[in-house]
Amino acid sequence: MDPILLEVYKHRFAGVAEEMGAVLQRTSSSPNIKERRDYSCAVFDGQGRVIAQGDHLPVHLGSMPRSVASALEGGHLEPGEVVLLNDPFAGGTHLPDLTMVAPVYTESRPLFYVASRAHHADVGGIAPGSMALAVDIYQEGLRIPPVRLRKKGELEPDSDLVALMMANVRTPGEREGDLRAQMASLDVGARRLLELIEERGVEESLEYAGHLLTYAERMTRALIGDLPDGTYTFEDQLDDDGMGSGPLPIRVSITIDGEEATVDFTGSAPQCAGPVNAVEAITLSATVYAFRCLLDPAVPPNHGSFAPIRLIAPQGTVVNALHPAAVAAGNVETSQRLVDVILGALARAAPDRVPAASQGTMNNLSIGGIDPRTHESYAYYETTGGGMGGRPGSSGPSAVHCHMTNTRNTPVEALEHAYPFRVTRYRIRSGSGGSGLHPGGDGIFREIVLGAPATVSLLSERRVFGPYGLEGGEAGQCGRNTRIDSAGEETPLPGKGTWQMKQGEGIRLETPGGGGWGHEQ
């Protein structure tokens, strides 16, 4: 193996995934994808092992291999085919995340696969945005098992399948535009891989794809091998499930044995009625991500990183929920708490390398109704950043997306152009970060006023238990949700719920600050 050539291939494969993401972002229809960049793209080898990812969303990327595996369960895909799925119990995460997988053929065999995943702002269900307080998967929206969206020899998506999907969503034009953008990203990815193969040859391209997997595994084993052998435990909790159950503990026990780690979530809460249940793919994604936080960023994020880590996630719990559990918030909220508990345990093995807890929530806000300007349905969805935890040697940044999310915010101008409401206040929530030698970052203060009646849904966490501090640092402040009527009267809202709101009413989010690190001097 030539180390220089290995580095070249690392960037060539990653460049393919990055360009796929750029195409998806530029050609999409919805602000959630175009502005917030709530999407992820990756390149897989012929066995369905991820070899390169774009610099996109950790919660998407770590779980995407399960989607590719589901897409390939019936055998390899034929040239030109595209498989679509979102079923959380068949490799997906939650229903708004639609995943597409396509093969890259040469020499009459699929040498690679390309995949894209994007969060669609509405996929049906009981409330606009498909992120409501549901009690089972059927209330959350349209569930799609692995199906052929585009068949062999076809250039266009299957019209019957698209018609069926569009009949079950509130914003069909936007959805079809985003689907076509995802397909375009796959076509570009396949084209770039074929160009690489033509330039470098099949044998070398496959050889160095394998070398990248081996290199990532070796570096991950070296990381684990540097940690002291032993068993490290930690526990944190979700506030509630929105249906009256809570707090919901998440417990982890990490055993370091040489160059391998076993991450065991035995003792975590049983799956619950509300939508905070996570499927196993999410728990695997959070686990791999947390270990990668300790790796040199130059190490490529690929399937090799999975090999030294053994996951134990008992079935029927909030970390490995079974059908027909509601799972919309498992992807966005429980994934954050999983990272918190894993990093909390790793801090006991490497206290000089792990930060305090970040905000621990994505503060999911969905708003939908009829836009009086167009007299058509709209569905808005957005996550909101908060404070990152303080860490050895540095304070936590303020007002950023942390850990399993890596999106941007929707610019105020784009938001007010696309939807019938106004952002009246938007600033850093000063003083919300935990104090310490290295304080936690501050959260965000944001108010939105509706220009028309709408259905509003919130799925948020850290409203009861603040993000923990480490090494003597203080916890970050809890978040707050508030409803404001047209006369200015304020009513506190719980972390999770769905409400009918009137024109002129507003909603305020005050997101959590990060925990502090170290005793304040």
Backbone angles phi, psi at 456, to 5 degrees: -120, 130
Q: How far apart are CA 172 and CA 224, in angstroms?
A: 47
Q: How far apart are CA 140 and CA 286, in angstroms?
A: 23
- CA torsion sign for 290, 295, 296, 301 is negative
Residue 23 CA, distance from chain mean position:
20
Tokens 């345990």 map to which residue? 345
pLDDT value at position 55? 78
Query: Cα–Cα distances in Å, from 14 out to 8, 292, 521?
Result: 10, 17, 43
Please name the residues in contact with 10: beta carbons below 8 A apart, sequence gap of 6 or more: 52, 212, 300
pLDDT value at position 408? 87
Separate counts of helices (H) and strands (E) for the chain: 11, 19
pLDDT value at position 5? 97
pLDDT value at position 74? 78
Q: What confidence tens digit (pLDDT) does each residue in 7-50 have?
A: 999 999 999 999 999 999 999 999 999 999 999 999 999 999 99
- Render each residue's pLDDT in the chain as its tens digit; 521 residues: 899 999 999 999 999 999 999 999 999 999 999 999 999 999 999 999 999 988 777 777 778 999 999 999 978 899 999 999 999 998 899 999 999 999 999 878 999 999 999 999 999 999 999 999 999 999 999 999 999 999 998 989 999 999 999 999 999 999 999 999 999 999 999 999 999 999 999 999 999 999 999 999 999 999 999 999 999 999 999 999 999 999 999 999 999 999 999 999 999 999 999 999 999 999 999 999 999 999 998 899 899 999 999 999 999 999 999 999 999 999 999 999 999 999 999 999 999 999 999 999 999 999 999 999 999 999 999 999 999 999 999 999 999 999 998 888 999 999 999 999 999 999 999 999 999 999 999 999 999 999 999 999 999 999 999 999 999 999 999 999 999 999 999 999 999 999 999 999 999 999 999 999 999 87
Backbone angles phi, psi at 41, to 5 degrees: -135, 150
Return the C-alpha torsion angle 189, 194, 195, 198, nearest 10. Answer: 170
Residue of 13, 9, 18, 42 lying closest to 204 (CA atoms): 9
Question: SS3 of 69, please?
Answer: helix
